[in-house]
Amino acid sequence: MVFEKGDKIFILVDCNNFYASCERVFNPALRGKPVVVLSNNDGCIVARSAEAKTLGLDMAAPVFKNRDLIGRHGIKVYSSNYVLYGDMSRRVMAILSRLAPEIEVYSIDEAFLSAVGMSARQLPDFGRYIHRAVQQQTGLTVSVGIAPTKTLAKVANHFAKRHEQHGGVLCLTDPAMIRDYLSRMPLAKIWGIGRRKARFFERQRIHNGLQLTAASDRWIKKYLTVMTLRTVWELRGISCIPLETVPAHKKGIGSSRSFGRDVSRLAEMEEAVAAYTARCAEKLRQQGLTAGHIQVFIATDAFKDGPYYENAAGNGISPPTAATPLLTARATDLLKSVFRPGLLYKRAGVMLLDLLPQVQVQADLFEHVYQNSRSQRLMETIDRYNRRTNSGKLMWAAEGMGKPWYMRQAHKSRRFTTRWDELAVAYA
The residues that touch DNA, with contacts defined as CB under 7 A, are 39-41, 43-44, 46, 60, 62, 64, 67, 106-110, 154, 190-198, 225-227, 248, 250-258, 261-262, 279, 283, 301, 303, 346-347, 349, 407
Query: Distance between alpha carbon 252 and the CA centroid of its chain, in Å?
Result: 15
**Rounded least distance, CB 262 to DNA, Å:** 7
Strand order in the sheet with 310-321: 253-263, 345-357, 289-300, 310-321
Comparison of 175 and 194: residue with beta carbon closer to DNA: 194
Axis crossing angle, helix 82-99 with helix 123-138, rounded to the nearest 10: 140
**Rounded least distance, CB 154 to DNA, Å:** 6
**Rounded least distance, CB 231 to DNA, Å:** 8
CA–CA separation, 428 vs 209, rounded Å?
53
**Rounded least distance, CB 19 to DNA, Å:** 9
**Rounded least distance, CB 378 to DNA, Å:** 23
CA–CA separation, 256 vs 235, rounded Å?
36
3-state secondary structure the chain: CEECCCCCCEEEEEECCHHHHHHHHCCHHHCCCCEEEECHHHCEEEEECHHHHHCCCCCCCEHHHCHHHHHHCCCEEECCCHHHHHHHHHHHHHHHHHHCCCEEEEECCEEEEECCCEECCCHHHHHHHHHHHHHHHHCCCEEEEEECCHHHHHHHHHHHHHCHHHCCEEECCCHHHHHHHHCCCEHHHCCCCCHHHHHHHHHCCCCEHHHHHCCCHHHHHHHCCHHHHHHHHHHCCCCCCCCCCCCCCCCCEEEEEEEEEEECCHHHHHHHHHHHHHHHHHHHHHCCEEEEEEEEEEEECCCCCCCCCEEEEEEEEEEEECCHHHHHHHHHHHHHHHCCCCCCEEEEEEEEEEEEEHHHHHHHCCCHHHHHHHHHHHHHHHHHHHHHCCCCCCCCHHHCCCCCCCCCCCCCCCCCCCCHHHCCCCCC
**Rounded least distance, CB 297 to DNA, Å:** 10
**Rounded least distance, CB 40 to DNA, Å:** 4
**Rounded least distance, CB 122 to DNA, Å:** 26
Beta bridge partners of residue 291, listed in sequence order: 321, 355
Comparison of 181 and 191: residue with beta carbon closer to DNA: 191
Comparison of 33 and 254: residue with beta carbon closer to DNA: 254
Comparison of 122 and 260: residue with beta carbon closer to DNA: 260
**Rounded least distance, CB 3 to DNA, Å:** 24
CA–CA separation, 415 vs 418, rounded Å?
6
Comparison of 138 and 372: residue with beta carbon closer to DNA: 138
Comparison of 118 and 212: residue with beta carbon closer to DNA: 212
Comparison of 62 and 325: residue with beta carbon closer to DNA: 62
Assign residue 139 a region: left if phi > 0, alpha if psi is -120 to 50, beta otherwise?
Answer: left
Comparison of 121 and 199: residue with beta carbon closer to DNA: 199
Comparison of 127 and 349: residue with beta carbon closer to DNA: 349
**Rounded least distance, CB 299 to DNA, Å:** 9
**Rounded least distance, CB 400 to DNA, Å:** 17
Comparison of 257 and 415: residue with beta carbon closer to DNA: 257
Comparison of 360 and 373: residue with beta carbon closer to DNA: 360
